[in-house]
Amino acid sequence: MTLSRITTKTASTSYFAIVLLLAAVVLSAAPVPTRLTDQEFWRLASEMSEPDGEFHSENLVSNEIRFQTVVPALQQRAVSGRAYIGVGSEQNFTYIAAVRPSMAFIVDIRRGNLDLHLIYKALFELSDDRVQFVSRLFSRPAPPGLSAASSADEIFTAFMKAAPSQALYEQNLKEIKARLVTTHGLKLSAGDLDGMDYVYSSWFKGGPQIIYQLSGAGGAGLGRGRGGIGGMPTYAELMTSTDGTGRNQSYLADDAAFRFIKDLQSRNLIVPIVGNFGGKKALRAVGTYLKQQGAVVSTFYVSNVEQYLRQDNIWEYFCGNAATLPIDERSLFIRSARSGFQGAPAAGTAFSLQLDPIKPEVANCPPPH
């Protein structure tokens, strides 16, 4: 074989390898918009949403102290650059920081969760770093000595000693609403604005020690943490817990995780939706949109919602909805489960997390009842 033929064959092989590599990159990071306009963001949030529903808790903060234990496996198995779907409050930010999606949808049955995530959106955009963010989140003056390089333990230890400021609370709430209504032009209803008052005042009253609490239980989720009322973890405990290997991987663990979420929020790419997983509209609308964009779902955090769907005899509807999502063999559910309910010892700490492939579970959905 001549040198020219060898060179040609080598070049051809190299070209073919590059083509395969580029194809793999495209498949692993399916396209979604790099930015949504304010109008597009609000249209998706509004048109995909279902009527407000009810749940037994406000979910102003998570109650899953072990939520980070699934993160190491998630980082190994989840495909970055795809789409993320989740439910509930701040735990989504930790999973988003681990998965690194291009876009995220937070789907929850309660309109109050949409209001909560709009507040988070404003707080991320208004804050330059985690210290400013936590200061705004709980309306506490930033203690001296903290910086963008401070650990989550250092930040929350300092803020636990900081007194709440009514003046900061009023100023921050005004800036949050101005950011959403004036800067972004979101057409918030009077109910949404009232919902934001409730969420933000609860964070203000509870501070870093705020805990998950059932609706109608009284108070605003105030507590002393796992050693106190209800055995539920505080916000501070959630943000300073570890992934089971001794590493804190919460969204406030380091500056890089915080900035990844801040960037998505600034580009309007974390979209809150009101919807029942077993409903007729929200999840299917998300699936239709992602298919139109040529996107694939990387991760779907369902928490323990399936437990309630089965209790309500609508799990089959959820299965059918999930089957309409753009998924492949690498798309994953993040699930949480526990053996006991409220009243059992340490009920708030009994959740365990697991990853399951979505596709096999929805391949043969049973017919609805």
For residue 220, the model assigns a pLDDT of 45
pLDDT, one tens digit per residue, over 46-76 is 999 999 877 766 689 999 999 999 999 999 9
For residue 52, the model assigns a pLDDT of 82
Question: How far apart (Å, rounded) are the C-alpha atoms in residues 69 and 247?
Answer: 10
Question: How far apart (Å, rounded) are the C-alpha atoms in residues 209 and 216?
Answer: 19
> Which stretches of the chain are assigned E, i.e. beta strand?
83-86, 103-108, 270-274, 297-303, 332-337, 352-357
For residue 338, the model assigns a pLDDT of 62
Q: Tell me the average pLDDT across 37-44.
A: 98
Query: How many other CB atoms sit within 10 Å of the CB of residue 22?
Result: 10
Per the model's pLDDT, the better-predicted residue between 64 and 134 turns out to be: 134
pLDDT, one tens digit per residue, over 147-199 is 999 999 999 999 999 999 999 999 999 999 999 999 999 999 999 999 999 99
For residue 113, the model assigns a pLDDT of 96
Q: Which residues have a Cβ under 8 Å from the Cβ of 152 and sit 6 or more positions away? A: 130, 239, 240, 248, 250, 252, 253, 254
Q: Tell me the average pLDDT across 295-308.
A: 95
- For the cut 70, the answer to whether the pLDDT of residue 211 exceeds it is yes
For residue 366, the model assigns a pLDDT of 87
Query: How many other CB atoms sit within 10 Å of the CB of residue 57?
Result: 16
For residue 230, the model assigns a pLDDT of 58
E strand or H helix at 49: none
What are the extents of the domains in the chain?
34-362
- The pair phi, psi for residue 299, each rounded to 5°, is -145, 140
Question: How far apart (Å, rounded) are the C-alpha atoms in residues 355 and 299?
Answer: 9
- Measure Cα distances from 78 to 144, 289, 300 in Å: 39, 21, 10
Which residues share a beta bridge with 353?
A: 336
pLDDT, one tens digit per residue, over 337-369 is 764 333 333 444 457 899 999 999 999 898 876
- For the cut 70, the answer to whether the pLDDT of residue 139 exceeds it is yes
For residue 70, the model assigns a pLDDT of 96
Lowest mean pLDDT among 29-33, 81-85, 237-241, 265-269: 29-33
For residue 126, the model assigns a pLDDT of 98
The DSSP string of 198-258 is HHHHHHHHHGGG-B--BTTSSTTS----TTSGGGPPBHHHHHH---SSS---STTSSHHHH
Measured distance between the N- and C-terminal CA atoms of the chain, rounded to whole angstroms: 70
Q: Tell me the average pLDDT across 206-229.
A: 62
pLDDT, one tens digit per residue, over 315-326 is 999 999 999 999
Lowest mean pLDDT among 101-105, 303-307, 321-325: 303-307
For residue 215, the model assigns a pLDDT of 54
For residue 57, the model assigns a pLDDT of 62
Q: Tell me the average pLDDT across 30-39.
A: 86
Is the pTM for the entire model greater than 0.85?
yes
Q: Which long-range contacts (CB under 8 A, 24 or more apart) does 229-234 make?
A: 230/342, 230/347, 230/348, 231/345, 231/346, 231/347, 231/348, 231/349, 232/63, 232/348, 233/62, 233/63, 233/65, 233/348, 233/349, 234/61, 234/208, 234/209, 234/210
The DSSP string of 330-348 is T-EEEEEE-S--BTBTTGG
Assigned token pair, 176: 């949050």
Q: Name the percent of the chain lying above pLDDT 90.
A: 76
For the chain, what is the largest distance between any 2 Cα atoms, rounded to a whole number of angstroms? 85
CA torsion sign for 297, 303, 305, 306 is positive
For residue 308, the model assigns a pLDDT of 92
For residue 231, the model assigns a pLDDT of 76
- For the cut 80, the answer to whether the pLDDT of residue 1 exceeds it is no
